[in-house]
Amino acid sequence: MKVNVKWGKEVFSDIEVDTTQPPMIFKSQLFTLSGVPPDRQKVLIKGGQLKDDEWGKQQPKDGMTIMMMGSADEIKVEAPVNAPQFVEDLPEEEQNTLETKAYGSGLKNLGNTCYMNSTVQCLYSAEGLKQALQTYQPSALSEPNAKLAQAARELFADLQKGGEPFPPFKFLLTLRQRFPQFAQQTNEGLYMQQDAEECWTQVMYALKEQLKDADGKSAVDRLFGLKLHTQLKCEETGEEFEEDSTVYTLKCNISVDVNYLHQGVALALVDDREKNSAQADRLVLFKGSAKVAELPPYLTVQMVRFFYKVDVRQKAKILRKVTFPLEFDAYDYCTPELQKQLAAPRAALRDYQDKLALEKRTAKQLKTEDGPKPAPVLDAGGSSSAAAAAGDVDMKDADTAAAGPSSAVVAGAQTGRYELTGVLTHKGRSADSGHYVAWTKQEDGKWVLFDDDELHFKTAEDVLALNGGGDWHMAYLLMYKAVTVPEGAVPAAAAAAAAPKAGAAGDSEPEPMKAE
Residues 6+ apart with CB under 8 A from 293: 227, 228, 229, 244, 334, 335, 337, 338
Decide if 114 is catalytic: yes
Residues 6+ apart with CB under 8 A from 316: 306, 307, 308, 309, 429, 430
Backbone angles phi, psi at 17, to 5 degrees: -125, 130
Adjacent-strand bridge partners of 227: 246, 294
> How does DSSP classify residue 80?
P
Q: Which of 114, 122, 199, 234 is catalytic?
A: 114
> Whose CA is closest to 113, among 39, 25, 199?
199
> Alpha helices of 107-260 — where are they, by DSSP H?
114-124, 127-134, 144-161, 169-178, 196-210, 219-224
Q: Which of 234, 334, 426, 435 is catalytic?
A: 435
C-beta of residue 201 within 8 angstroms of C-beta of residue 249: yes
Query: How many CB atoms sit inside 10 A of residue 123's CB?
Result: 26
Decide if 122 is catalytic: no
Residues 6+ apart with CB under 8 A from 272: 285, 286, 287, 288
Cα separation, 150 vs 154, in Å, equals 6
One-letter amino acid at 370 equals D
For 159-182, letters b (16+ CB in 10 Å) and e give beeeeebbbbbbbbbbbbbbbeeb
One-letter amino acid at 163 equals G
Cα separation, 45 vs 50, in Å, equals 7
SS3 326: coil
Strands 2-7 and 65-69: what pairing? parallel
- The angle that helices 114-124 and 169-178 make with each other, rounded to 10 degrees, is 100
Query: How many CB atoms sit inside 10 A of residue 52's CB?
Result: 15
Query: How many CB atoms sit inside 10 A of residue 377's CB?
Result: 9
Which helix (DSSP H) or strand (DSSP E) does residue 449 occupy?
Answer: strand 447-451
Q: Which residues are catalytic?
A: 114, 435
